């Protein structure tokens, strides 16, 4: 009801008064205005509005309310109703419409109240988190920690707000290129939704194929042409669906390099930029991004294989035989960000993220409309799954790149994992070398998207003439010009150009209203609407079709025929010609979206000499600050939009000044500028890569006899892991013994890392490395939903079912569980199972990876645990681990929880805790906090971790943010060359918190069904999103087995080809 605030107030007054029908009748009977709302009381017996002769439903509810209420179905109802001949029936229907509007207003008020309560609670939680952080930060805040006076340059500082850092001249570009030309960087970009190809991009075909597609392709192309960058891979989804072009099914596509002398450099065999398409999800369907979430794990596995193989290939070409790991993996949008976090953790490579648009911001905008609840929004957009992915990106990213400061300050500020004040304090403490107590915050960097301007030659303009004089005017006009100008009765008038999808948030209908109701503007200019491509309106999505239909009706309403162009088709390659046509007529480009994350079309238009009128919400503010080539407007105010357009097209000197400003400053948004800023930021990151890959290592992971890939010295490892059972028993008498033991473990681990490299030769001579490499198939036992007795029997039955492969050595076994290693040892001993029957043990929910050790010389005494720990795995997962600072915060949180409940709800389990796992016993599962609440509490305090409950809810493990049981399997692939597609994971009908990620992926899955499965604890029901948003049980490679008998298990293993018939 924008533009009729008095009606909003009127309806709110009805709500506050209780909404009695008699009161509504009285108010309406007063003439439909405010006076009626405060008039004398009417007879409540008169309930039907049509009974009051002075009331005009047509005038009040239609002209004043419905015409301004953005609700398509109400408008359609009014159209049908107004055509009725019977006054009584027409008034009855109009009355019903008034009640519908009243109910919408009531629903909006209810939603607003719920959101206000939620935001108030969130503010209290954040303030509490800041108080805790202040308590931990024992030192007084320095000036730098306050943020405003830090000596370190920041994108938030006023000093940098007026100008974006840039390369100022061709000489500077050449100097920078010369300085970096000898580097051989490998960069991986990920964008998995939409239709992505290098040429003839189908931008606007659907909501998934828009500006982001163009951005990532051009970024890959520009980086691939930058000195110092050897190869860029843009990973996306391979689509072989009948309703899309065959090119989207090609595994690899090379992107043609940018034609620039400054960025030409020597090419190698595999150098350049490539689109690499990874098959995942339904092979024959093109599905929207909201439905891709269940297949993320499958994409990660496929991308991991490609990156490992490409790193080896590049190592042979430019790495002197050593793998060339990606210097960074950069995810785009939430779905790719989720994937990038997992890949970054598996490869131990820095992660960069760009959100493009953010879920919390979208959720806030939809909620403000007051038409849908959170549950309804989530059902449509899977918004909670998206938000959780974005929170994970905050946990895992080293740098988050945005287009504007507004995105940092207003949009990212909505997330639990980011607080601008906390970020400034942490940055200052790091700079001063002061402890942050396990707290981490990603670095936010604003780098505007780039453009390639070398091929653009703006035409000269004669301010006194009707048209500009363009070089080569003798050449024929582009065909798209005729397609547009055929709409106009006077095509020589200045053209107002809008280039946007017919999406409600693009606000096209307001633009048409502004144009139609401003007579002087209509007389002076034409309006061109490029609204994507369409064939039949009825075949478009309902939302897009509704917007387009509204536009056509408005054109008819204001009789704009001959003044508005709306062509049905255009090619992406014709967009420059459209800009040229608008500039030739001395036109204006407009983007009046309600919120524009950046506004790349504004930069494109400026490059062709078009002044702009743009929304003041979002990225256009930053663009206008740099270019100074137009006017910013309130997108909700159509009069302001019309006046800004009229001012630019009517004032020739203002138009010329805006045009000149844009052309002079446009180079600040070039791709060379963007790439230079990008690489300079990436260059500040601490290099990370798999720790066992040393300069003198042989890295051919498929070679089973490579001595350098063996484990570190067994004696050093044994010192760290093999804890004496006798000392455990005696230590339990001393309350501080476990703390001392943990510090001792940390010290021994550090010592092991320092001496392991010098002891590698001993391993080579003894030839000790896990037997995993010789296995053709791996069976991972990860059944969480059964009692210990059933669990032992499941293991024995799996051994029996695969006895032939087990005896021949072709089948290996891994035990994956939330239990600590000492619990696993006790369980196996009680069941009569040898530890040597397994090749590896993934324990403590994936925070520890162990191997069996049966050699007596490795055991310090008979009481020791016969396992070796993989310290290299710890080096993979320790990223952003809060350590003792996290532990103290968790203990404080547990104490508060116990005090609130008046009983011991949760207590620390020091016996089962380890260096990278803080374990708790849950004494009262009914009072236990859900995972999402614990995770939010830690994120608000800038503590990054992975929180998991056991299946029965009796155990809570807090581990590193990028550690999990599925990530441990990916590590085994990278470390020992195990093929993920040759793994079979056996699970129950339900499991621990990480149950879903054990099912997704390229591995095969066997689900054991039956009454032996215990019902999962209620702590697993309070999820942020449904299980179906995470995993698809219909994907190939999943088999269900009734019971866990050997014959049934053998049949399932034979079905997957693991065992021969």
Q: What percent of the chain has pLDDT over 90?
A: 52
Between CA 541 and CA 29 the distance in angstroms is 41
Between CA 759 and CA 755 the distance in angstroms is 7
Above 80 in pLDDT, residue 868? Answer: yes
Domain boundaries, the chain: 57-82+94-105, 182-260+267-446, 480-669, 772-879+964-1060
pLDDT digits (tens, 9 = 90+) for 776-786: 999 999 999 99
Instruction: Please report the pLDDT score of residue 45 as a whole number.
Output: 36
Between CA 373 and CA 115 the distance in angstroms is 10
Extract the tokens encoding 407. 């995105």
Which are the contacts of 463, defined by CB distance < 8 A and separation ≥ 6? Answer: 652, 653, 656
- Give the DSSP H or E segment for 274: strand 272-278
CA atoms within 13 A on the CB side of 564: 26
Extract the tokens encoding 424. 């400034």
pLDDT digits (tens, 9 = 90+) for 8-44: 444 444 444 343 333 333 333 333 333 333 343 334 3
Above 70 in pLDDT, residue 567? Answer: yes
Q: Are 119 and 364 in contact (CB under 8 A)?
A: no
Q: What angle do CA 778, 783, 789 make, to 5 degrees?
A: 115
DSSP state of 1007: E
- Pick the closest to residue 298 from 1000, 979, 1028 (CA basis): 1000
Which ranges constitute the DSSP H helices of 38-86?
57, 72-82
Between CA 992 and CA 806 the distance in angstroms is 28
Above 90 in pLDDT, residue 404? Answer: no
Extract the tokens encoding 445. 């960097």
Q: Are 281 and 298 in contact (CB under 8 A)?
A: yes
Instruction: Please report the pLDDT score of residue 1020 as a whole number.
Output: 81
Q: What angle do CA 215, 217, 221 make, to 5 degrees?
A: 115
pLDDT digits (tens, 9 = 90+) for 76-102: 555 565 566 677 776 776 667 666 666
- Pick the closest to residue 754 from 883, 881, 875 (CA basis): 875
CA atoms within 13 A on the CB side of 73: 7
Between CA 212 and CA 518 the distance in angstroms is 34
- Exposure string of 114-144, with b = 16+ CB inside 10 Å and e = fewer, is ebeeeeeeeeebbeebbebbeebbeeeeeeb
Instruction: Please report the pLDDT score of residue 116 as a whole number.
Output: 77
Instruction: Please report the pLDDT score of residue 1034 as a whole number.
Output: 83
588 by DSSP, 3-state: which?
strand
Among the ranges given (259-263, 396-400, 608-612), the one the predictor scored with the smallest mean pLDDT = 259-263
pLDDT band at 123 (very low <50, low <70, confident <90, very high): confident
Between CA 433 and CA 830 the distance in angstroms is 50
Extract the tokens encoding 185. 């960087």
pLDDT digits (tens, 9 = 90+) for 352-385: 999 998 999 888 878 877 677 888 889 889 999 9
Extract the tokens encoding 712. 């570190």
When pLDDT is averaged across residues 114-130 and rounded to a whole number, the result is: 76
CATH T-level assignment (fold) for domain 772-879+964-1060:
Rossmann fold (3.40.50)
pLDDT band at 223 (very low <50, low <70, confident <90, very high): very high
Extract the tokens encoding 916. 């990278």
Instruction: Please report the pLDDT score of residue 689 as a whole number.
Output: 85
In 808-944, at which residue ranges do the beta strands (DSSP E only) sit?
Answer: 811-816, 840-843, 848-852, 867-869, 906-908, 918-922
DSSP sequence for 447-459: -PPPB--TT--PP
Among the ranges given (253-267, 400-414, 625-639), the one the predictor scored with the smallest mean pLDDT = 253-267
Extract the tokens encoding 337. 């960000």
Between 316 and 63, residue with greater pLDDT: 316
Instruction: Please report the pLDDT score of residue 222 as a whole number.
Output: 93
Among the ranges given (294-303, 478-487, 755-764), the one the predictor scored with the smallest mean pLDDT = 755-764
pLDDT digits (tens, 9 = 90+) for 425-461: 899 988 888 889 999 999 999 998 888 776 676 666 6
Extract the tokens encoding 508. 């096209």
Above 60 in pLDDT, residue 748? Answer: no
Between 733 and 185, residue with greater pLDDT: 185
Instruction: Please report the pLDDT score of residue 698 as a whole number.
Output: 35
Architecture of domain 480-669: 3-Layer(aba) Sandwich (3.40)
Q: Burial-class residue 933 by CB neighbours within 10 Å (0-12, 13-18, 19+).
A: middle
Q: What percent of the chain has pLDDT over 70?
A: 75
Angle at which helix 87-136 crosses helix 883-901, to 10 degrees, equals 120
Measure Cα distances from 217 to 82, 155, 188, 313, 837 in Å. Answer: 51, 26, 12, 23, 49
Are 182-260+267-446 and 772-879+964-1060 equal in CATH topology? Answer: yes
When pLDDT is averaged across residues 766-770 and rounded to a whole number, the result is: 49
The model's pTM is 0.77
Among the ranges given (614-628, 630-644, 742-756, 864-878), the one the predictor scored with the smallest mean pLDDT = 742-756
The 10 Å Cβ neighbour count of residue 466 is 9
- Pick the closest to residue 156 from 395, 391, 498, 413 (CA basis): 413
CA atoms within 13 A on the CB side of 614: 30
Tell me the range of 404-418, 459-473, 744-758 where mean pLDDT is highest. Answer: 404-418
pLDDT digits (tens, 9 = 90+) for 1007-1029: 999 999 998 888 887 777 788 78
DSSP state of 845: G
pLDDT band at 262 (very low <50, low <70, confident <90, very high): very low
Between 1026 and 611, residue with greater pLDDT: 611
When pLDDT is averaged across residues 311-325 and rounded to a whole number, the result is: 93
- Pick the closest to residue 627 from 592, 594, 589 (CA basis): 589
When pLDDT is averaged across residues 549-557 and rounded to a whole number, the result is: 93
Between CA 168 and CA 137 the distance in angstroms is 42
Above 50 in pLDDT, residue 733? Answer: no
Between CA 61 and CA 55 the distance in angstroms is 10
DSSP state of 537: G
Above 50 in pLDDT, residue 67? Answer: no
Q: Burial-class residue 455 by CB neighbours within 10 Å (0-12, 13-18, 19+).
A: exposed
Q: Are 617 and 368 in contact (CB under 8 A)?
A: no
Question: What is the greatest pairwise CA distance in the chain?
Answer: 104
DSSP state of 856: G
Instruction: Please report the pLDDT score of residue 725 as a whole number.
Output: 39
Chain-wide mean pLDDT for the chain?
A: 80
- Pick the closest to residue 445 from 151, 148, 156 (CA basis): 156
The 10 Å Cβ neighbour count of residue 473 is 11
Between CA 735 and CA 860 the distance in angstroms is 25
Which are the contacts of 731, defined by CB distance < 8 A and separation ≥ 6? Answer: 737, 738, 741
Q: Are 52 and 28 in contact (CB under 8 A)?
A: yes
Measure Cα distances from 924 to 676, 891, 903, 907 in Å. Answer: 55, 16, 9, 10
Which are the contacts of 584, defined by CB distance < 8 A and separation ≥ 6? Answer: 459, 467, 468, 470
Tell me the range of 132-146, 685-699, 751-765 where mean pLDDT is highest. Answer: 685-699
When pLDDT is averaged across residues 820-827 and rounded to a whole number, the result is: 94
Instruction: Please report the pLDDT score of residue 965 as a whole number.
Output: 97
CATH T-level assignment (fold) for domain 182-260+267-446:
Rossmann fold (3.40.50)
Above 70 in pLDDT, residue 275? Answer: yes
Alpha-carbon Rg for the chain, nearest whole angstrom, is 32
Which are the contacts of 377, defined by CB distance < 8 A and separation ≥ 6? Answer: 363, 366, 367, 383
CA atoms within 13 A on the CB side of 657: 9
Between CA 910 and CA 352 the distance in angstroms is 36
143 by DSSP, 3-state: which?
coil
Order of strands across the sheet that contains 906-908:
906-908, 918-922, 955-959, 946-949
């Amino acid at each position: 009801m924008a533009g009729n605030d008095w009606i909003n107030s009127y309806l709110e007054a009805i709500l506050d008064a209780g909404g009695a029908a008699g009161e509504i009748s009285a108010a309406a009977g007063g003439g439909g205005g405010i006076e009626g709302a405060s008039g004398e009381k009417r007879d409540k017996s008169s309930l039907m509005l049509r009974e009051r002769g002075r009331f005009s439903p047509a005038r009040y509810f239609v002209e004043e309310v419905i015409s301004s209420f953005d609700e398509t179905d109400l408008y359609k109802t009014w159209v049908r109703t107004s055509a009725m001949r019977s006054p009584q029936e027409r008034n009855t229907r109009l009355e019903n419409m008034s009640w519908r509007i009243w109910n919408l207003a009531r629903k909006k008020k209810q939603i607003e109240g719920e959101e206000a309560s939620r935001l108030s609670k969130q503010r209290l939680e954040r303030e509490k988190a800041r108080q805790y952080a202040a308590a931990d930060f024992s030192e007084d805040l320095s000036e730098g920690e306050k943020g405003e006076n830090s000596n370190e340059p920041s994108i938030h500082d006023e000093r940098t707000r007026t100008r974006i850092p840039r390369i100022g001249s061709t000489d500077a570009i050449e100097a920078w290129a010369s300085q970096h030309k000898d580097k051989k960087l490998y960069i991986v970009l990920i964008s998995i939704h939409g239709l992505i190809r290098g040429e003839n991009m189908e931008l606007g075909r659907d909501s998934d194929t828009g500006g982001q597609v163009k951005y990532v392709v051009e970024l890959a192309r520009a980086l691939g042409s930058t000195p110092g960058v050897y190869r860029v891979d843009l990973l996306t989804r391979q689509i072989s669906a009948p309703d899309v072009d065959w090119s989207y099914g090609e595994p690899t596509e090379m992107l043609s390099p940018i034609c620039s002398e400054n960025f030409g450099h020597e090419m190698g065999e595999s150098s350049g930029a490539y689109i690499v398409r990874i098959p995942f999800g339904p092979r024959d369907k093109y599905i929207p991004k909201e439905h891709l979430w269940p297949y993320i794990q499958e994409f990660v596995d496929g991308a991991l294989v490609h990156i490992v193989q490409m790193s080896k290939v590049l190592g042979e070409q430019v790495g002197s035989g050593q793998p060339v790991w990606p210097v960074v993996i950069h995810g785009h949008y939430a779905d790719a960000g989720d994937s990038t976090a997992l890949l970054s953790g598996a490869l131990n490579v820095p992660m960069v993220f760009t959100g493009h648009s953010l879920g919390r911001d979208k959720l806030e905008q939809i909620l403000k409309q007051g038409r849908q609840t959170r549950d309804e929004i989530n059902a449509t957009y899977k918004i909670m799954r998206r938000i959780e992915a974005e929170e994970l990106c905050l946990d895992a990213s080293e740098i988050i790149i945005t287009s504007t400061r507004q995105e940092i300050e207003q949009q990212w500020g909505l997330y639990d994992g980011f607080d601008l004040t906390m970020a400034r304090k942490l940055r200052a403490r790091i700079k001063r070398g002061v402890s942050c107590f396990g707290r981490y915050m990603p670095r936010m960097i604003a780098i505007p998207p780039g453009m390639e301007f070398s091929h653009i030659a703006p035409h000269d303009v004669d301010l006194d003439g009707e048209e500009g004089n363009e070089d080569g005017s003798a050449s024929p006009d582009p065909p798209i010009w005729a397609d547009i100008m055929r709409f106009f009765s006077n095509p020589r008038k200045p053209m107002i150009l809008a280039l946007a999808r017919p999406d409600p948030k693009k606000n096209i209908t307001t633009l048409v209203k502004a144009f139609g109701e401003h007579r002087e503007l209509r007389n002076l200019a034409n309006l061109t609407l490029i609204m994507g491509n369409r064939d039949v309106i009825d075949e478009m999505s309902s939302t897009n079709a509704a917007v387009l239909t509204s536009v056509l009706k408005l054109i008819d309403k204001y009789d704009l025929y001959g003044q508005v162009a709306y062509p049905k088709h255009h090619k992406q390659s014709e967009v420059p010609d459209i800009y040229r046509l608008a500039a030739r007529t001395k036109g204006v480009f407009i983007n009046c979206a309600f919120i524009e994350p950046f506004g790349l079309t504004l930069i494109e238009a400026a490059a062709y000499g078009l002044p702009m009128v743009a929304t003041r919400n979002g990225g256009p503010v930053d663009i206008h600050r740099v270019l100074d080539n137009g006017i910013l407007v309130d997108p909700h105010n159509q009069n302001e939009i019309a006046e800004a357009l009229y001012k630019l097209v009517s004032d020739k000197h203002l138009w010329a000044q805006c045009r000149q400003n844009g052309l002079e400053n446009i180079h600040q948004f070039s791709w060379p500028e963007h790439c230079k800023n990008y690489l300079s930021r990436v260059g500040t990151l601490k290099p990370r890569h798999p720790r066992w890959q040393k300069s003198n290592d042989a890295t051919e992971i498929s070679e089973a006899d490579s001595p350098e890939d063996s484990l570190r010295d067994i004696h050093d490892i044994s010192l760290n892991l093999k804890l004496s059972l006798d000392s455990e028993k005696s230590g339990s008498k001393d309350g501080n013994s476990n703390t001392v033991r943990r510090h001792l473990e940390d010290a021994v681990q550090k010592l092991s890392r320092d001496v392991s490299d010098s002891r590698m030769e001993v391993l080579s001579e003894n030839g000790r490395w896990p037997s995993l490499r010789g296995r053709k198939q791996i069976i991972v036992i990860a059944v969480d939903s059964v009692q210990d007795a059933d669990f032992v029997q499941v293991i024995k039955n799996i051994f029996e079912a695969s006895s032939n492969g087990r005896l021949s050595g072709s089948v290996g076994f891994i035990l994956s569980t939330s239990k600590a290693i000492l619990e696993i040892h006790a369980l196996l001993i009680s069941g009569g199972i040898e530890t040597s029957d397994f090749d590896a043990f993934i324990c403590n929910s994936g925070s520890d990876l162990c191997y069996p050790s049966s050699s007596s010389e490795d055991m310090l005494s008979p009481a020791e645990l016969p396992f070796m720990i993989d310290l290299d795995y710890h080096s993979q997962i320790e990223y952003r681990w809060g350590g003792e600072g996290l532990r103290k915060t968790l203990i404080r949180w547990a104490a508060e929880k116990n005090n609130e409940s008046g009983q011991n709800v949760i207590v620390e389990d020091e016996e089962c805790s380890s260096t990278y796992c803080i374990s708790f016993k849950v004494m009262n599962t009914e009072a236990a906090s859900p995972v999402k609440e614990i995770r939010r509490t830690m994120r608000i305090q800038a503590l990054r971790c992975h929180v998991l409950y056991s299946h029965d809810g009796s155990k809570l493990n807090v581990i590193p943010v990028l550690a999990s049981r599925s990530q441990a399997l990916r590590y085994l692939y990278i470390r020992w060359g195990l093929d993920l597609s040759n793994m079979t994971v056996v699970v129950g009908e339900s499991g621990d918190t990480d149950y879903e990620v054990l099912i997704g992926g390229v591995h095969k899955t066997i689900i054991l069904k039956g009454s032996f499965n215990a019902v999962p604890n209620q702590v697993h029901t309070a999820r942020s999103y449904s299980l179906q948003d995470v995993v698809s049980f219909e994907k190939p490679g999943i088999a269900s087995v009734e019971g866990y008998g050997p014959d049934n298990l053998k049949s399932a293993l034979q079905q997957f080809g693991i065992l021969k018939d």
